[in-house]
Structure 1
Amino acid sequence: MACRGCCCCGFGLLNEDNARFLMLALLIILYLLCGAAVFSALEQPKEKQAKERWMHRFEHFSQKHNLSRKELENFLRFYEEANVAGIRVDATRPRWDFTGALYFVATVVSTIGFGMTTPTTMGGKIFLIFYGLIGCAATILFFNLFLERLITLLAVVLKSCYEHQRRRKAILPHGGQHSHGATSGPEAQGDSLAGWKPSVYYVMLILCLAAVLVSCCASAMYSAVEDWSYFDSLYFCFVAFSTIGFGDMVSGQRQVYEYQAAYCLGNFLFILAGVCCIYSLFNVISIVIKQVLNWILRWLVPPRCGHTCHPGVGLGPRRNAVGPHRTYPRHNISIETDAVNDSEEMDGRRMSGEMISMRDFLAANKVNLAIMQKQLSETANGHPRQSGSCSRHNGFSEGVGALAIMNNRLAETSVDR
């Protein structure tokens, strides 16, 4: 009986990357709808109460001072214009002196963008476009480099703890006596830990604890200096560290502080450390979300459909992926087979939640380098690569080099379709 378009076969028409992308898009839309419903239920009653209270005060003030509604509205519009320029009822520090401008550019390049200070001149707006383009790109590069070094440091620490735990188990086994027959020593330790990688879940837990610690310490400082409640300080820390930057609460806006120099330094260091920790945590959480999406796709699309489907339909494992009971014979070992097995090990480690080293990444690309060398040699000698029993002479296989390889891939794709 032929398949009549079941759900799993519908997903099977996509490859794994496209199916994951589609699933993530659907989940994000559902997440947005749920968030909108929750915030609407929580915040809309307070908004209505504030609007009714404001209208009552507006009418009371206009009647008390014998002002027409239009005159009072015009005066409030003038105050809104002054508010945009940085004029407040309470005394605040200057917005566009050197320190104020330094605080502004820091919020620009960090992508926080509180919004309490914005350029109003045409020259300032044009300069901000080019300044932010380069500054934001450089800051994102800095965050990525920071994440690499942070994960390297965590990997060294976790590996040291793992080595210490293995030594303790080797010296004191479950019986409480030293095992003389067991192989020990630096050689055995090095062989057993050669391919060890820290779990992404341990890295996520450590980054989460670091972000919580930085946020708690920063909240204690803000609640003491800014006279905010501790919960409001935690809220500000998350909004600032995650670079959301609503601008409803902004630190360091008073004109005078008791220990102003020390507070400015502490504010800068806490925001820098918090942004780095939260940015790193977001990247690691994205890896976990990708693993959850893989699990959902394997749950939605079983390995075998109950109907009679066309061959090749279904979300099977990715190329070189490692299954739970999948073995690979290693006959005729060459650079290509060795690279394939290395790529399989790397993909299996990625699916198990472990970090990937640069050595594994380079090993996984050996096969690509070998295929490129083979295609370059065949193209240069005038022997284009055959596919099946007939060659593909369709105008795509001309040329030598990386462009020829890309054209051959395009030709294969167009003919296969």
Structure 2
Amino acid sequence: MRWKTLLPLFFVFIAFLFFGAWIFKTLEETYHVPGIRIEHDLEAVIVAIARRVNSSVSEDEVLAYIEAARTGRFPMSQNGTTTAYHMDYFDAWFFCITFITTIGYGFITPHTVGGKLFCIVYAFLGIPVTLIMLTAIGRKLGDTNRWVEKKVQKKLPNYPGRIRAVTLLIVVVTSVGIFFFVPAIIFTIVEGWNFLDSLYYCFITLSTVGFGDFVSSVHHESSSYFGFVLYKVILFLWIMVGLSIVAAVFDLIQEALRGLKTRVNRNMKDLSVDHFGHLVSRVHEEGGKGLGKITDITKSKMKKQRARTSISRKNKNPDEETASDGMPGSYVAQEW
């Protein structure tokens, strides 16, 4: 997939997010149990109950407060009536992001019939589009790494395996540093977590596990609303680019494993069935000596193959007398 195709797909994805957030916000505000969200903090629940002891708190109200701590919502009552629930639009937008990327923190969940049905339909449409887009971006980023690898291999043609291993190591180390360690430092400052918790959160997020025990940008009371929205946008970019980089790394690892499998199969074909069966019995009888014999024969065959290839390149039409070992009938035609 070309970048010209990916760009419109990305804009469709963004529009899908904003539209989904509006639908989800509308459904949940209409039918959701009234309340405003607070932290999952048992101490806050105890303080809230203690302040209402003089008004004879009933058992049902205590249970309601405990349930509020579990669900993250704090019921309020004004003159015997409950206040209307209001969901922030960018909370709904961030929920849609974590939903269709399959992260699924669980800090916001649908509690209405309409919201649950919407999530089912939204998942069927959004998750495949997101996975296709992330996979395509990951492959394009992997193509960039392969282009660099080919440039290096032209200058060092004798070490293709080592070059691939080194480039893959560089990509992995750089990706981990930029998308795991650097954000972890930022989260320690912004969210107030320790470094281990921040690094844990980065891994859980970009691996799409999404336990939900740590969720960034849940509250914005301590900052301006503009800063709150900007922070969510930055988080969105980090998640999308990070998931694309992870997809690119997986694509490169799969390609390296396929190349390793091809080389192993090629080396195994150099051993004839008769030789292999005979040498396996030698391994059984003589232990390490038989295994060494297999290695010696493999090296010998590979050396002869390289010699035949070198001679065939120097002589466009070599005859039997100019074959690699100088014996009639020993020439093997090369396929170009």
Give the 3-state SS of the residue equivalent to 1:105 in structure 2.
helix
Structure 1 residue corresponding to 2:215, chosen from 250, 260, 264: 250
Relative contact order, CA 8 A, sep 6+: which one is greater? 1
Structure 2 residue corresponding to 1:263, chosen from 221, 228, 231: 231
Give the 3-state SS of the residue equivalent to 2:73 in structure 1.
coil
Distance 1:244 1:120 in 2: 22
Structure 1 residue corresponding to 2:181, chosen from 216, 231, 235: 216
TM-score, length-normalised on structure 2? 0.52
Distance 1:197 1:150 in 2: 21
Structure 2 residue corresponding to 1:142, chosen from 133, 136, 147: 133
Corresponding pairs, count: 212
1:129 equivalenced with 2:115 (yes/no)? no
Give the 3-state SS of the residue equivalent to 1:264 in structure 2.
helix
Give 1:204 deviation, angstroms.
4.9
2:190 aligned partner: 225
Structure 2 residue corresponding to 1:79, chosen from 62, 65, 83: 65
Distance 2:256 2:236 in 1: 30
2:91 aligned partner: 100
Alignment of 1:367-378 (within 5 A): none
1:111 equivalenced with 2:102 (yes/no)? yes
1:236 equivalenced with 2:227 (yes/no)? no
2:326 aligned partner: none
Structure 1 residues 112 and 204, CA gap change in structure 2 (3 angstroms):
farther
Contact 1:109–1:136, Cα closer than 8 Å, also in 2 = yes
Give 1:260 deviation, angstroms.
2.7
Structure 1 residues 274 and 102, CA gap change in structure 2 (3 angstroms):
same
Instruction: Show CA shifts across 1:182-222 (max 9, x none).
Output: xxxxxxxxxx79x9997266235413422322222212221
Give the 3-state SS of the residue equivalent to 1:199 in structure 2.
helix
Instruction: Show CA shifts across 1:297-317 (max 9, x none).
Output: x9xxx954549xxxxxxxxxx
1:274 aligned partner: 242
Give the 3-state SS of the residue equivalent to 2:107 in structure 1.
coil
Structure 1 residues 128 and 261, CA gap change in structure 2 (3 angstroms):
closer
Alignment-mate amino acid for residue 143 of structure 1: L
RMSD (Å) for aligned C-alpha atoms: 4.2
Structure 1 residues 260 and 123, CA gap change in structure 2 (3 angstroms):
closer
Give 1:261 deviation, angstroms.
3.9
Contact 2:141–2:245, Cα closer than 8 Å, also in 1 = no
1:206 equivalenced with 2:164 (yes/no)? no
Contact 2:220–2:228, Cα closer than 8 Å, also in 1 = no
Contact 1:111–1:243, Cα closer than 8 Å, also in 2 = yes
Distance 2:147 2:127 in 1: 30
Alignment-mate amino acid for residue 73 of structure 2: I
Give the 3-state SS of the residue equivalent to 2:180 in structure 1.
helix
Distance 1:114 1:293 in 2: 38
Structure 1 residues 81 and 95, CA gap change in structure 2 (3 angstroms):
farther
Alignment-mate amino acid for residue 97 of structure 1: D
Give 1:132 deviation, angstroms.
0.8
Alignment-mate amino acid for residue 228 of structure 1: W
Give the 3-state SS of the residue equivalent to 2:214 in structure 1.
coil
Distance 2:247 2:86 in 1: 28
Instruction: Calculate percent identity across the aligned residue pairs.
Output: 24
Contact 1:211–1:278, Cα closer than 8 Å, also in 2 = no
* Structure 2 unpaired stretches of 5+: 1-41, 76-84, 269-274, 283-297, 310-336
Alignment-mate amino acid for residue 215 of structure 1: F
Contact 2:135–2:244, Cα closer than 8 Å, also in 1 = no
Contact 2:94–2:232, Cα closer than 8 Å, also in 1 = no
Structure 1 residues 196 and 99, CA gap change in structure 2 (3 angstroms):
same
Give 1:134 deviation, angstroms.
1.7
Contact 1:207–1:280, Cα closer than 8 Å, also in 2 = no
| Structure 1 runs (4+) greater than 6 angstroms displaced | 195-198, 289-295
Instruction: Show CA shifts across 1:250-287 (max 9, x none).
Output: 01011332533432232222222222222333444455
Give 1:232 deviation, angstroms.
1.3
Instruction: Show CA shifts across 1:6-60 (max 9, x none).
Output: xxxxxxxxxxxxxxxxxxxxxxxxxxxxxxxxxxxxxxxxxxxxxxxx9xxx9xx
Alignment of 1:294-309 (within 5 A): 304=277, 306=281
Structure 1 residues 150 and 118, CA gap change in structure 2 (3 angstroms):
same
Give the 3-state SS of the residue equivalent to 1:250 in structure 2.
coil
1:392 aligned partner: none
1:151 equivalenced with 2:119 (yes/no)? no
Give 1:141 deviation, angstroms.
0.5
Give the 3-state SS of the residue equivalent to 2:102 in structure 1.
coil
Alignment of 1:44-83 (within 5 A): 77-83=63-69
Distance 1:261 1:239 in 2: 23
Whose helix proportion is higher, 1 or 2? 2
Give 1:158 deviation, angstroms.
2.6
TM-score, length-normalised on structure 1? 0.42
Contact 2:139–2:251, Cα closer than 8 Å, also in 1 = no
Give the 3-state SS of the residue equivalent to 2:134 in structure 1.
helix
